[in-house]
Amino acid sequence: MKQLHQKGFTLMEVLLVVLLMGLAASAVTMTMSGADPQKKLERTALQFMTATEMVLDETVLSGHFIGIVIEKTSYKYVFYDEGKWKSLDRDRILTERQMDEGVEISLVLDGLPLVQEDEEQDSWFDEDFIEEESEEEKKKYPEPQILLFPSGEMSAFEISFFSEDDQGNEIEALVVGDSLGRLTLGRDDDVNGGDDGH
């Protein structure tokens, strides 16, 4: 008589599935590049959500702090190692993502808009334990504005990906992240995906 062995998924299997989901999101964006600007912008936002969810899962499983560095036209994931935030670029999903031409990013943390030039003034860690870095080091190892915790929590934020449509009107795709690690496209109180001016 055959004996059935019940076993769960291994860590590698789980990470592989998450990685494949990210690749699928990238493939959709590439194959649908001729779609209207709003849809393209929403796919850019969904790519960010997929990658961030994958990284948050890795943070929980590994127990390491991981952050997100947001620039005007790019974002990247970093991990804390030997007193520095280093790029998390083991695969192409997590390498620094440059926005398409005409697409920019704005970030709001805890309800306050972030001024990128001043980001280095605030540190996640006690300044007494961090050596003063040169400007060159700050550029090479930028400190993240968003932090993902091993508990599955993260800094609450709103990220807007915005551009212009064919008529020159500003369009936006908003990603909202709460402190419990949940990500949504748009706000929960948005009607029909946003305000269309009517």
Domains identified in the chain and CATH numbers: 37-116+132-185 (3.55.40.10)
- pLDDT computed for residue 181 by the predictor: 94
Q: Which two tokens stand for residue 27?
A: 């493939």
Helix/strand/coil for 86: strand
Tell me the pLDDT of the chain averaged across its residues.
79
Quote the CA–CA distance of 148 and 158 in Å, as a whole number.
14
Beta strand 157-164 with 74-81 is unpaired
The number of residues making up the chain comes to 198
Cβ neighbors of 81 (< 8 A, separation 6 or more) are none
pLDDT at 61 over 50: yes
Cβ neighbors of 77 (< 8 A, separation 6 or more) are 51, 55, 66, 67, 68, 69, 87, 88, 94
pLDDT at 145 over 50: yes
pLDDT at 191 over 70: no
Task: Please tell me the least confidently modeled range out of 15-24, 88-97, 108-117.
Answer: 108-117
- pLDDT computed for residue 137 by the predictor: 66
- pLDDT computed for residue 152 by the predictor: 94
pLDDT at 154 over 50: yes
Cβ neighbors of 18 (< 8 A, separation 6 or more) are 53, 54, 57
Q: How confident is the model over 58-85, as a mean pLDDT?
A: 92
